[in-house]
A and B are shown apart, each in its own frame.
Chain A
């Protein structure tokens, strides 16, 4: 299962896994913890399928 990235919810701060088919696919993601829906771009922290960390405040990849 290599094809996942994890997304931090902007509402509750918890992270959950998404399939890469959802990567920048234009769908709102659904937080399983608080039921918030949000576009990927609003997530404060995303870890991509290759392990790169993307922070929304800078938009920069830190690498891992």
Chain B
């Protein structure tokens, strides 16, 4: 056993921190925005792109990829360190969909042309991605999705409505799952995965405002959208396997505990400055700090497995669910700490911390839903991890 980072990893962390000390946007640091409510800053897309390109120039987004695709064969702990530091500096710059989900899926299942076409843009921080799985009628039960792609001579033609697509309003490309066979049972055998250029005619993106009042995700309508056949990944009607690995990457990409940890520190500082540390608040703060350490361990275990070439499965569901629910508890604690002031919204007279606390709190209702709900995670842990029997 060894719980330390290597000297090289520690040096990398220092380098990233020095970079962010200069480059992390000061207003983001000051307002203590978290990774999950960056969209509360109006200029965040431009800010994100600017920083992403600088990370790309340094080769930091792709350090853990194979050399032949622009990586340095580094351990996945480099990705983790980068994201921990970005969290600590309240900085945007990491496209958790493109770099976090699409890239590893392409490395695994993409063909040579697809890798050559798409990986450099992601590594350089220049191309942003969104991911479209959910539909109004089907979220957890992805095998039932209905949006259909009709096969023609050299393309597939998509019609229908998807929803909850994060970042669709500015993404350049989309990782899309649609139905290509309506007859087959089980239904999951009729799904196909495509890479879709968001400039393709026939795509309409409508904003959906979340309960924190922010525009983060969208409805996406497809009206005879033509996708060239070469944009299919993993084979016709083989999309399910990609969806499953996408979800596995999704569950391991965000260092949620790092967001929680930064948030806990910010709240502790606020509490100290404002004399709010009574025994009750101290106790809650300490409990959250301990919880956060457990979340960190759960995530480090997954990263360690990935570095060893072991495919994490229920382990990533454990890590993701525990840290997201922890972040909900931290957000709740922020509200309790601020008391009456916690209900003041951004822009109000007398609002503390730019209204960040209620904004984080309201955003936190999504944490046990996005990337698969906590119910589904618990099923995965119980059934795949513990081998408990299933009813179905």
A and B associate: no
